[in-house]
Amino acid sequence: RPASKCWGSKQAMVEPVTHAILPDATDHLVDGLLKRLDCEPAYVALRQTCQAQGVSWLMLVGGMLRDWVLRETVSADLDVVVDPAHAKPLAKALSKVYGCKCIVLDEALGIYRLVVPPAFFAAHGWQGRVVMIDVAARLGNTLADDLARRDLTVNAMGLTLDDAHWHDPYDGLGDAQRRQLRMVSADNFRDDPLRYIRLFRFAATLGGLAMEAGTLVEVRAEGHRLLHVAPERIHYELCRLLDAEQCFDVIGLMQQTGLLGHLFVEWPALQQVPANGYHHLALPEHTLALLQQLEQLWAGLPASMRGALAEPYNATMSRRAVCRLGCFFHDFGKPATMALDDETGRYRFYGHEKVGAELVAGIALRYRWSQQLTRDVCALTRWHLYPHQVMGPEVSDKARHKFFRRLTHVMPELLALALCDRHSTRGTLVSQTDVDRDEAQLLALWAAYEVFAKAEAELPPLLSGREVMARLNLQPGPAVGRVLDQLREAQLAGELADKASAEVWLDALQDHVN
Q: Walk along the chain (514 residues) and give the pLDDT tens digit of each residue.
A: 233 222 223 334 455 543 344 445 678 889 999 999 998 899 999 999 999 999 999 999 989 999 999 988 888 889 999 999 999 999 999 999 999 999 999 999 999 999 999 999 988 887 767 789 999 999 888 899 999 999 999 999 999 999 999 999 999 999 999 999 999 999 999 999 999 999 999 999 998 799 999 999 999 999 999 999 999 999 999 999 999 999 999 999 999 999 999 999 999 999 999 999 999 999 999 999 999 999 999 999 999 999 999 999 998 899 999 999 999 999 999 999 999 998 888 999 999 999 999 999 999 999 999 999 999 999 999 999 999 999 988 999 889 998 999 999 999 999 999 999 999 999 999 999 999 999 999 999 999 999 999 988 888 888 899 998 988 888 999 889 889 888 888 888 788 888 999 888 888 887 655 4
The boundaries of every CATH 1.10.110 domain in the chain are: 192-260
**Residue 57: closest CA among 156, 162, 139:** 162
Report angle CA 403, 407, 409 to the nearest 5 degrees: 150
Q: Is 168 exposed, middle or buried (0-12, 13-18, 19+ CB in 10 A)?
A: buried
Q: What does the pLDDT read at residue 73?
A: 86
In the chain, what's the furthest Cα-to-Cα distance?
A: 92
pLDDT at 457: 84
Give me the count of residues in the chain: 514
Q: What is the DSSP letter of 268?
A: G
- Neighbouring CB atoms inside 10 A of 51's CB total 10
322 and 328 Cβ atoms separated by less than 8 Å? no
- Please name which of 500, 511, 499, 508 lies closest in space to residue 463, comparing C-alpha atoms: 499
Q: How many CB atoms lie within 10 A of CB 19?
A: 13
Query: Whole-angstrom Cα distance, residue 173 to residue 169?
Result: 10
Q: Specify the pLDDT at position 373.
A: 98
Of 192, 159, 195, 152, nearest to 175 by C-alpha is: 152
- Measured CA to CA, the distance from residue 117 to residue 130 in angstroms comes to 6
Query: If one looks up domain 264-458 in CATH, what number appears?
Result: 1.10.3210
User: Rounded to an integer, what is the distance from CA 316 to the centroid of its chain?
Assistant: 6
> Residue 349 and residue 270: Cα distance in Å, rounded?
13
Q: What is the pTM of this model?
A: 0.87
**Region 3-178: CATH code:** 3.30.460.10
Gap between the Cα atoms of 33 and 42, Å rounded: 14
Q: Is 473 helix (H, G, I), strand (E, B) or coil?
A: coil
The residues facing 166 across adjacent strands are 159
- Which positions ≥6 away from 163 have C-beta within 8 Å? 1
Q: CA of 287: how far to CAs of 204, 245, 373, 401, in Å?
A: 18, 18, 20, 29
Mention every residue, 6+ apart, whose C-beta is less than 8 A from residue 386: 403, 407, 414
CA distance 261 to 259: 5
Tally of CB atoms within 10 A around 139: 18
Of 349, 420, 423, which Cα lies nearest the Cα of 380? 420
Residue extent(s) of CATH 1.10.3210 domains in the chain: 264-458
Give strand pairing partners of 133. 78, 114
CA-CA distance, 312 to 23, in Å (whole number)? Answer: 41
Write down the architecture of domain 192-260 according to CATH.
Orthogonal Bundle (1.10)
Who contacts 2 (Cβ-Cβ below 8 Å, separation ≥6)?
Answer: none
How distant, in Å, are the alpha carbons of 251, 314, 401 from that of 231?
18, 18, 38
Q: Which pLDDT belongs to residue 460?
A: 87
Amino acid sitting at position 453: A
Bridge partners (DSSP) listed for residue 159: 60, 166
The segment(s) of the chain belonging to CATH 3.30.460.10 are 3-178
